[in-house]
Structure 1
Amino acid sequence: MMKKLIDMLKDKEDRMIEIRRYLHQHPELSFHEEQTPKYIAEFYKNKDCEVATNVGPNGVKVTIDSGKPGKTIAIRADFDALPIQEDTGLSFASKNEGVMHACGHDAHTAYMLILAETLIELKSEFKGKVVVIHQPAEEVPPGGAQAMIKDGVLEGVDHVLGVHVMSHMNAGNIYYREGNVQTGRDFFELKVKGQGGHGSSPHTANDSIVAGAYFVNAVQTIVSRRLNPFETGVVTIGSFDGKGQFNVIKDSIEIEGDVRALTDTTKHTIKREINRLVEGIEAMFGVTCELNYHDDYPALYNDPEFTQFVVDSIKNADTDAVKKVERCEPQPPSEDFAYYAKAIPSTFIYAGAAPEDGDIHPHHHPKFNISEKSLRVSAEAVGLVVLSYLK
């Protein structure tokens, strides 16, 4: 059965690439996906599976039932794009102005469609069910995972497996890590209100820029002085809006920041300390602060036992697509797959997708591109795990 899966995916590789290129040309932003879910649902038309649309909403849930009692495994692929103007020069570059698949979700959907089709064709040879989660809105909080879970996408599911193509990892390799594997994310907006005045008479005003600048410097001490050195945390100030005139003391400024942490405990510590720091700024400078703090994606935790099963299933298979299975370091970005992992034991792995030619650009870059070999690698890796689990 494993060999049959591998052979079938190899024969369908060109179709995977064709689908990926079509989706790349027609990207849609998070929470505004209209044509992509229609395209996905149409793909499954007349196939021997159950298709539910508007899950989440905008999500598509596909159930492949072998008709024989057994376990149920879910496999997930996201399909939203980013508000980025593409600058790759590809012949299949985005046709939608200012929108681009700059994170590889087009590849995720393409490999998943072909893998699901293949599993449908093989379903007489395994037991139990496969639930295919085509998820919208991974890129923008609150994300699409929570809404799909609320709509019952995980009912009866024992485990969820996901994979992400990675432009900085070697093509042909699968990477994994058990335990905490990706950071959780929060973000905040801080408005500091002082009292405006003339630049020549600061004693008659209360400078919000000075108070805000102190906050920007002091907030970095949360990581350096409030976290255990073995904890992973990052606080980034991405915006400081204090634009005014050179000789005018501004009465208010606005700051926006990004928080990342490898555990939810660390994330909560940073939140607590930012609140304390804001209170201190008010007392020290006599300003008034408005803090809007948004609890965003949790840290992503890979279940160790299921992760080991995933690794063994891929390593033990006779495949020429997957060159190596390698343990990697935790990844700094956040990922709303974390919500599935909080609900049931799950695993998120990575498919190396560094381009063979040209420069390597990071995810969310206007020149982002991947090796299309990563599509069959992803399909084989996930498919092998599914069949191993349901055999």
Structure 2
Amino acid sequence: MDVKKLYDDYEAYIIEMRRWFHRHPELSLKEQNTSRKIQEELQGMGIPFEVLAPNCGVAATIKGGKEGKTIALRADIDALPVKEETGLEFTSENEGVMHACGHDAHIAMMLGAAKVLNEVKEELAGTVICVFQVAEETGFGYKEVLDYFDSIGGVDSVIGLHIWSTLPEGEILLIPNSVFAGGVGYDLTVKGEGGHGGRPDLVKDPIKAACEMVLKFASIPSNFYDVLDHSVVNVGRIEAGTIGNVFPSEAKLYGGFRWYKPGGDKVILEKMHQIARGVCAMYGVDYELVINGGVPPVSNNAELISRAKGLVKDVDGLELAKQTDPICAGDNFGYILEKYKGFYGVLGAEKAGDTVYPQHHCKFDLDEKAFRKGSEFMARFAIDFLNAE
């Protein structure tokens, strides 16, 4: 099978698809038109698919000419509530919504891989499932993917690629264990007793306690948690008071924390509670700490990463990234990898010579030369995984 020749033929298609999806972004759980376009493309290729209830994710099935293992490829499809300021000719037509994280490229690369794999399916010993997942940005979508895998008896492996604007184009980050961090958000309310700004001795001031917690939470990664695990405990928003000469009765902190090693979240959370209890005892106030959702670390299977590294040389212009550190971002693909072995690669698409903007920025953009490489890498991995002795 001449995979390179097929990608020579289909590279323009992949770029065209990326531009279409970039022009028509949709927010999480509202990806109806995105899903409809994916379905139309799959129908045109003659690939059967299912829509994943209760939302509009899509799972396409490419059955090989021989029986064998099953591998799933996963791409997320939602956009962000960001007003685009790139000035691209294919800029977003949906005001206030933008593919500012590269999911438009993920869809296009997956469609390209589906197109090529469908062309060579008679030479495959097994089945490829191409999954287009909704609502990654808001933490949803992965459950219906797992439900679908369960309904078909599971898969032997599942892989994905996340494109990255600050990694050099043509490089791919393939590391074992955690490549993305686990992350959760939290809301913390400090409850005191307010009063006149001139009599701090007669109140139980929640502001001083909250400020104390902000500083002490920031010290958790270096003083109270494993120094060999990269971690962050942050506060991004503080609310308290209405006027300068009144002590309020409540202060609120909004933040999050990130970690990489299994179980790190439990240790960090307990240290937060320990600090909050101590600070509250000192200031005579109470607190309530509420956790908001979150994702586990995205942990790569070491054996499959080793196999993947061996295939990088087969893709023209692709090389292993010089960076070897994980990335402090989150992705609910981690939940899928907790149940099924696989990996998440990070594909560089930095626009050399231009100002580089990170994911989620209103001027975020990508080098289109990377898309063919990422798509080809996924297709080659699927072929190798299924046809290996």
TM-score normalised to the size of structure 2?
Answer: 0.95
Report the alpha carbon displacement of residue 192 of structure 1 after superposing the two structures with TM.
1.1
CA distance in 2 between counterparts of 1:174 and 1:223 reads: 29
Aligned to 1:89: 87
For 1:35-79, what per-residue CA distance to the aligned partner results, in whole angstroms no more than 9, with x for missing partners? 111111121115333200034622111111114211111111111
CA distance in 2 between counterparts of 1:103 and 1:52 reads: 26
Aligned to 2:42: 44
Aligned to 1:217: 215
Report the alpha carbon displacement of residue 254 of structure 1 after superposing the two structures with TM.
1.2
Matched to 1:388, the amino acid is: D
CA distance in 2 between counterparts of 1:245 and 1:232 reads: 39
CA distance in 1 between counterparts of 2:86 and 2:157 reads: 37
* 1:169 has 2:167 as partner: yes
* 1:58 has 2:60 as partner: no
Matched to 2:59, the amino acid is: K
Aligned to 1:145: 142
Matched to 2:376, the amino acid is: E
Secondary structure in 1 matching 2:109: helix
Q: Conserved in 2, the CA contact under 8 Å of 1:73 and 1:160?
A: yes
CA distance in 2 between counterparts of 1:291 and 1:184 reads: 19
CA distance in 2 between counterparts of 1:148 and 1:126 reads: 23
Aligned to 1:298: 296
* 1:23 has 2:21 as partner: yes
CA distance in 2 between counterparts of 1:368 and 1:327 reads: 21
CA distance in 2 between counterparts of 1:147 and 1:241 reads: 36
CA distance in 1 between counterparts of 2:56 and 2:320 reads: 35
Report the alpha carbon displacement of residue 295 of structure 1 after superposing the two structures with TM.
4.9
Q: Conserved in 1, the CA contact under 8 Å of 2:316 and 2:373?
A: no
Identity %: 34
For 1:76-127, what per-residue CA distance to the aligned partner results, in whole angstroms no more than 9, with x for missing partners? 1111111111111111111111111111000010111121012111101111
Q: Conserved in 2, the CA contact under 8 Å of 1:23 and 1:106?
A: yes
Alignment of 1:86-235 (within 5 A): 86-141=84-139, 143-152=140-149, 155-235=153-233
Q: Conserved in 2, the CA contact under 8 Å of 1:56 and 1:148?
A: no
Structure 2, unaligned stretches of length 5 or more? Answer: none
Structure 1, unaligned stretches of length 5 or more? Answer: none
Matched to 1:383, the amino acid is: A
The alpha-carbon distance between structure 1 residues 243 and 362, as it changes in their structure 2 partners (threshold 3 A), is farther
Q: Conserved in 2, the CA contact under 8 Å of 1:56 and 1:151?
A: no
The alpha-carbon distance between structure 1 residues 128 and 151, as it changes in their structure 2 partners (threshold 3 A), is closer
* 1:9 has 2:17 as partner: no
* 1:360 has 2:320 as partner: no
Q: Conserved in 2, the CA contact under 8 Å of 1:196 and 1:249?
A: yes
The alpha-carbon distance between structure 1 residues 222 and 323, as it changes in their structure 2 partners (threshold 3 A), is closer
Report the alpha carbon displacement of residue 233 of structure 1 after superposing the two structures with TM.
1.1
| Equivalent position to 2:379, from 355, 379, 383 | 383
Aligned to 1:74: 72
CA distance in 1 between counterparts of 2:153 and 2:365 reads: 36
Matched to 1:17, the amino acid is: I
- Single out whichever of 273-282 and 367-376 deviates more from structure 2: 273-282
Matched to 1:249, the amino acid is: F
Report the alpha carbon displacement of residue 325 of structure 1 after superposing the two structures with TM.
5.8
Q: Conserved in 2, the CA contact under 8 Å of 1:167 and 1:361?
A: yes
CA distance in 2 between counterparts of 1:90 and 1:111 reads: 20
Aligned to 2:269: 271
CA distance in 2 between counterparts of 1:121 and 1:224 reads: 53
Q: Conserved in 1, the CA contact under 8 Å of 2:52 and 2:145?
A: no
Report the alpha carbon displacement of residue 356 of structure 1 after superposing the two structures with TM.
3.0
Q: Conserved in 1, the CA contact under 8 Å of 2:217 and 2:234?
A: no
Q: Conserved in 1, the CA contact under 8 Å of 2:57 and 2:132?
A: yes
The alpha-carbon distance between structure 1 residues 69 and 80, as it changes in their structure 2 partners (threshold 3 A), is same
- Single out whichever of 200-209 and 103-112 deviates more from structure 2: 200-209
* 1:333 has 2:329 as partner: yes
Report the alpha carbon displacement of residue 31 of structure 1 after superposing the two structures with TM.
2.0
Q: Conserved in 2, the CA contact under 8 Å of 1:311 and 1:325?
A: no
Aligned to 1:350: 346
CA distance in 1 between counterparts of 2:242 and 2:24 reads: 41
Q: Conserved in 1, the CA contact under 8 Å of 2:65 and 2:123?
A: no
CA distance in 2 between counterparts of 1:200 and 1:326 reads: 59
Alignment of 1:250-289 (within 5 A): 250-289=248-287
CA distance in 1 between counterparts of 2:276 and 2:266 reads: 16
Q: Conserved in 1, the CA contact under 8 Å of 2:84 and 2:96?
A: yes
CA distance in 2 between counterparts of 1:94 and 1:77 reads: 20
The alpha-carbon distance between structure 1 residues 156 and 359, as it changes in their structure 2 partners (threshold 3 A), is same
Secondary structure in 2 matching 1:218: helix
Secondary structure in 1 matching 2:145: helix
- Single out whichever of 323-332 and 207-216 deviates more from structure 2: 323-332
Matched to 1:116, the amino acid is: A
Secondary structure in 2 matching 1:45: helix
Matched to 1:90, the amino acid is: L
Report the alpha carbon displacement of residue 274 of structure 1 after superposing the two structures with TM.
1.2
Matched to 2:381, the amino acid is: V
CA distance in 2 between counterparts of 1:94 and 1:257 reads: 30
CA distance in 1 between counterparts of 2:54 and 2:110 reads: 19
Secondary structure in 2 matching 1:383: helix
CA distance in 1 between counterparts of 2:217 and 2:330 reads: 21
Q: Conserved in 2, the CA contact under 8 Å of 1:297 and 1:335?
A: yes
